[in-house]
Amino acid sequence: MPRTKGDHEARRRDVSEAVWRVLAAHGFGGLTLRAVAAELGATTGLLTHYFPAKRDLVAYALDLLTERTASRPRRAAGDGLAALRAALLDILPLTAEATDSNRIWVSSWDTALADPALSDDHARKYEQSRVRLGELVSAAQRLGELPAGDPARIAAGAQSFVLGLVVQALFNPTAFPPRHQVELLDDYLASLASPTSSGGDHPASA
Amino acid sequence: MPRTKGDHEARRRDVSEAVWRVLAAHGFGGLTLRAVAAELGATTGLLTHYFPAKRDLVAYALDLLTERTASRPRRAAGDGLAALRAALLDILPLTAEATDSNRIWVSSWDTALADPALSDDHARKYEQSRVRLGELVSAAQRLGELPAGDPARIAAGAQSFVLGLVVQALFNPTAFPPRHQVELLDDYLASLASPTSSGGDHPASA
C-alpha cells in the first residue's frame, strides 16, 4: 500500500514523541536508537531509516528541543517588571511539562559543551534570550520600576539567577517546589528593584 | 618483577589524570574506556582491570570530581560579606583549572539526572553548599552587612545566581570573561546588601 504524506507526518510525530520521552527519562546520555525504538514499539531497523547515525539522532533531538521551547505557551503579561517576571517564570520548572523541558535542556549541556558547533549554537540561544530580557529590563526602567543601570548587565544577572534555580530545582524538587521557586524569583526581582542594586556601588568588593 | 605499593599509587594517579583530561575535553558523554586508554597511552585491557564495567568508570569519575572539588585551593577571606563573596568567587570559572572543573560538573548533570542515586547525591552536595553559604550569610547579617531575612533563602538565591553564571560563562567565555563574572557577582551582592532585598516586600508580585 502506498504511504501518504499524512502517514509520513503522523509517523514523524510519533518519532518526536518517543525521542522526547527518552530524553525526559534518560537525558542525552541515554538517547540511543534502541531506546527510541523501544519507546516507539518499533525496530531499530525502522529507526535507522530516520537516523542513519547516532549524531543524526542527537541533532534531531536538539532541533526538537529548540522547536518545543519556541512553541511552548507563554504567560500573558503586561509591561515592565510584570513582563520580565512572566518571562522568567516561563523558564522555571513550575509544571511537569516545563520540568521535562528543563531536564532535557540541562542534559543537553554535556553534549553541547563537547562539540564546538553545538556549543556556539547554545551560546547564541542564550544571547538571544538575554537580548529579550534586556528589552524587558529597559521597559521596566522607562516605567520607573527598575533603577537605572546597564540593561544587558541586569539581563545577564537575571538569566544566571533563573538558570541556576532551574538546576537546583531539578535536583531537589522537594526543597524547591514551585511556590518556593517563585518566592526566590520574587526576592531576586525585589532586590533588582531596590535603588542600590544596579552597579556603581559595590560594598562587597571594597 | 613484583609491583610495589608506590607503583600502584603512581598508576592510580596517572589513571585519575587521564580520566580528568577526558572529562574536561569531552564530558561524561565522551567518557569511555577507549578514550581513557588513549589518553593514558595504555590498552583498554589494562583499563578493564580498574573498571570492569562502564558504570565503574562513571562512578570513579564522579568520585574524582568530588575529591578534586573538595581539595581545591580556596580564597583566604575575612568574615561576613567578604567571606561570602570569596566562597562564591571560588565556584566561578575564573581560571583554566576552575573552568575544567566546572565544565565537568555541568557535564555530570546529564549522568546524575538519569540515575536516582546519583541525583540524590548531587542534591545532597548542593544542600551542603547552601548550608555553608547560609552560615556566611548569617555572619554577614550579624555584622550588619546584610539586612535581616531567612539566611537559607538568601543562600539558595546566591547559589542559583552563581550556578547559572557558571553555565553561561562556560558556553560563552567571550561574553563572560572573568572580570565580567566578578562584576555580575558584585552587582548581585550589592543588591543583596540593599535594604529591600530580603523578602517581605515584593513589588514584582503585585
> How would you label B23-55 residue by residue, b for 16+ Cβ within 10 Å and e otherwise?
bbebbbbbbebebbbebbebeeeebeebbeeee
The residue-averaged pLDDT of B41-62 equals 90
| B198 reaches A (C-beta below 8 A) | yes
Q: What percent of chain B has pLDDT over 90?
A: 78
- Dump pLDDT digits (tens) for A35-65: 999 999 999 998 998 899 888 999 999 999 9
HSE at residue B154, side-chain half, CA atoms within 13 A, is 31
The residue-averaged pLDDT of B13-26 equals 94
**What ipTM describes this predicted complex?**
0.90
Contact A187 B199 (CB under 8 A): yes
Compute the distance between CA of residue B39 and CA of residue B57 in angstroms, rounded to an integer.
14
Mean pLDDT of chain A: 90
Q: Map residue A187 onto helix, strand or coil.
A: helix
Task: Name every residue whose Cβ is closer than 8 Å to that of residue B123 and which is 6 or more positions away in sequence.
Answer: A171, A172, A175
Q: How far is CA B179 from CA A119, A158, B169, B195, in A?
A: 22, 18, 11, 26
Residue B86 has pLDDT above 70, yes or no: yes
Enumerate the residues of chain A whose CB falls inside 8 A of the CB of residue B82: 204
Q: What percent of chain A has pLDDT over 70?
A: 93
Q: What pLDDT is recorded for position B201?
A: 42
Q: What pLDDT is recorded for position A77?
A: 83
Contact A190 B171 (CB under 8 A): no
Q: What percent of chain B has pLDDT over 70?
A: 93
**Phi/psi at B8 (5° precision):** -60, -45
If contacts are CB pairs under 8 Å, which of residues 123-162 in chain A contact chain B? 123, 126-127, 145, 153-154, 156-157, 159-162
Contact A164 B168 (CB under 8 A): no
- Give the mutation candidate from B167, B184, B189 for the A interface (greatest A CB count, under 10 A): B167
Looking at CA atoms only, how far is residue B17 from chain A in angstroms? 19
- Dump pLDDT digits (tens) for A98-150: 999 999 999 999 999 999 999 999 999 999 999 999 999 999 999 999 999 99
Q: How far is CA B153 from CA A31, B125, B150, in A?
A: 36, 17, 5
Contact A190 B202 (CB under 8 A): yes
- B54: pLDDT confidence band, cut at 50, 70 and 90? confident
Closest-approach residue (CA) in chain B for A194? B196
| B35 reaches A (C-beta below 8 A) | no
Task: Give CA A177 to chain center in angstroms.
Answer: 18
Residue A157 has pLDDT above 90, yes or no: yes
Compute the distance between CA of residue A10 and CA of residue B180 in angstroms, rounded to an integer.
48
Enumerate the residues of chain B whose CB falls inside 8 A of the CB of residue A195: 194
| B79 reaches A (C-beta below 8 A) | no
Residue A198 has pLDDT above 50, yes or no: no
Q: What percent of chain A has pLDDT over 90?
A: 78
Q: Which amino acid is at B102?
A: N
Q: Which domains does chain A have, with CATH numbers?
A: 8-66 (1.10.10.60), 74-193 (1.10.357.10)
The residue-averaged pLDDT of B166-180 equals 97
Q: What pLDDT is recorded for position B196?
A: 62
Cell of A99: 520540568
Looking at CA atoms only, how far is residue B205 from chain A in angstroms? 7
Contact B190 A175 (CB under 8 A): no
Query: What distance separates the 2 farthest-apart alpha carbons in chain A?
Result: 77
Q: Is the Cβ–Cβ distance between B164 and A164 less than 8 Å? A: yes
Q: What pLDDT is recorded for position B22?
A: 96
Q: What pLDDT is recorded for position A1?
A: 52
Q: Rounded to the nearest 10 degrees, how much is the dihedral formed by the CA atoms of A57, A61, A67, A68?
A: 140
Q: What pLDDT is recorded for position A76?
A: 82
Q: Map residue A19 onto helix, strand or coil.
A: helix
Q: Rounded to the nearest 10 degrees, how much is the dihedral formed by the CA atoms of A24, A28, A29, A32?
A: 90
- B187: pLDDT confidence band, cut at 50, 70 and 90? very high
Question: What is the CB neighbour count within 10 angstroms for residue A173?
Answer: 15
Compute the distance between CA of residue A200 and CA of residue B183 in angstroms, rounded to an integer.
10
Closest-approach residue (CA) in chain A for B147? A191
If contacts are CB pairs under 8 Å, which of residues 39-78 in chain B contact chain A? none
Contact A109 B111 (CB under 8 A): no
Enumerate the residues of chain A whose CB falls inside 8 A of the CB of residue B81: 203-204
Cell of B50: 580498574
Q: What pLDDT is recorded for position A204?
A: 44
Compute the distance between CA of residue A108 and CA of residue A64 in angstroms, rounded to an integer.
12
| B102 reaches A (C-beta below 8 A) | no
Compute the distance between CA of residue A76 and CA of residue A54 in angstroms, rounded to an integer.
39
Contact B159 A161 (CB under 8 A): no
Average the pLDDT over each of A6-15, A46-55, B173-182 and give the range with the smallest value: A6-15
Q: What pLDDT is recorded for position B199?
A: 45
Compute the distance between CA of residue A16 and CA of residue A4 in angstroms, rounded to an integer.
19
Q: Which amino acid is at B107?
A: S
Q: What pLDDT is recorded for position A2?
A: 60
The residue-averaged pLDDT of B135-139 equals 97
Q: Is the Cβ–Cβ distance between B172 and B122 less than 8 Å? A: no
Q: Is the Cβ–Cβ distance between B168 and A153 less than 8 Å? A: no
Closest-approach residue (CA) in chain A for B166? A160
Compute the distance between CA of residue A172 and CA of residue B112 in angstroms, rounded to an integer.
12
